[in-house]
Amino acid sequence: MFWPCRQTSFFGIRAQGQFFVYVVDCSGSMIDDNRLVRAKGELRRSIMNLQLPQRFQIIFYNDRPIPWPGDLPRAADLTAKGQMN
């Protein structure tokens, strides 16, 4: 079955597709000016705009990658979105 690609954006960068990987810096410099708080809010907003059958994965990084628990892409359903809190 063909599903049209849907869009989302992250800090003004628009993208279209079925699978999104968000890679977010969580190093110490992100504490300045609440950068990490703003990045997490934008991440939440972007993911809330996704719809099935879209999928997503989140990877934070500092000196190494820190994948969101589960390592596998998540379906953009209410269960996965609810875990964003």
pLDDT for 35? 93
Q: Which helix (H) or strand (E) holds 79?
A: helix 78-82
In 3D space, the residue among 62, 26, 61, 24 whose CA is nearest the CA of residue 44 turns out to be 24
Indicate the pairing of strand 65-67 with strand 6-10. unpaired
pLDDT tens figures, 22-48:
999 999 999 899 999 999 999 999 999
For residues 41-69, give the mean pLDDT: 91
pLDDT for 60? 92
The model carries a pTM of: 0.83
pLDDT for 6? 82
Give the helix ranges, DSSP H, for 17-65: 35-48
Determine the Cα–Cα distance for residues 63 and 77; give it in Å rounded to an integer: 31
Summary mean pLDDT of the chain: 88
pLDDT band at 81 (very low <50, low <70, confident <90, very high): confident
